[in-house]
Chain A
């Protein structure tokens, strides 16, 4: 079964600094997708960024980028120039080609201070 590990229960960062949220995964499937979602205090789940296992380049979406290291099975989320509105829970999720459903990590709470 797939397994997603987020080892940082909480992270603190100052406004305008960059922060990296860790995510490692365990799969034997060569084809898979990795996703990051943001859950603010209001509770909704917001899709941030996607990385495919065969993508040659690391994914980027605005201030979000994914540091994808396939050999290490890690897919860390990098948020550049943190803003106060980035304070939220962040979930890493994995999708194997043989499955239809996402497997989520337990999340990392990010707090951005002024």
Chain B
């Protein structure tokens, strides 16, 4: 029973390049969340998706960042023209059908993005 999968685990990009982070939710989970963790900080919400729908992107920067969760395949967080400030750990979490405040989000191992 595989957990949430994220790849790559580590990603190094130069300023101006694009970063693509992938997340496969747990089997049976249809809700995906992306969080960002800056050094020595807690996780900050970025975006919440269901299959083919963005439900809440209130935590995502308006420019350069985008996310999708297609009908087939993993969820993708895409960062265009990366800058040094994008260096962080990006976590994906998934949960089963929405039932309210009892939903537990299970996290993947994270992708550590380093921008040179």
A68 to nearest B CB, angstroms?
14
Closest to A46 in B: B107
Q: Which residue from B31, B91, B104, B107 sits with its C-beta under 8 Å from A50?
A: B104
| Bound CA–CA A104/B109 (angstroms) | 17
| Binary contact track A32-47/B, C-beta < 8 Å → 1, others 0 | 1101010000111111
Q: Which residues of B contact A53 (CB under 8 A)?
A: 101
A44: contacting residue among B35, B102, B104, B107, CB under 8 A? B107
| B residues near A91, Cβ cutoff 8 Å | 42-43
- Among A35, A53, A104, find the residue whose CB has the most chain B CB atoms closer than 10 A: A104
Complex CA–CA separation, A50 to B101 (angstroms): 10
Indicate whether B20 reaches chain A with its CB closer than 8 angstroms: no
Interfacial chain B residues near A32, Cβ < 8 Å: 101
Whether B110 pairs with A45 at a CB distance below 8 angstroms is yes
B110 CB contact (under 8 Å) in A37, A44, A95: A44
CB-contacts of B29-60 with A (<8 A): 31, 33, 35, 41-45, 48, 55-56, 59
**23 A-B contacts (beta carbon < 8 Å):** A4-B42, A33-B101, A33-B103, A37-B107, A43-B109, A44-B109, A45-B43, A45-B91, A45-B107, A45-B110, A47-B105, A53-B101, A91-B42, A91-B43, A96-B101, A100-B31, A100-B33, A100-B48, A102-B33, A102-B43, A104-B44, A106-B41, A106-B42
Give A residues with C-beta under 8 Å from B.
4, 31-33, 35, 37, 42-47, 50, 52-53, 91, 93, 95-97, 100-107
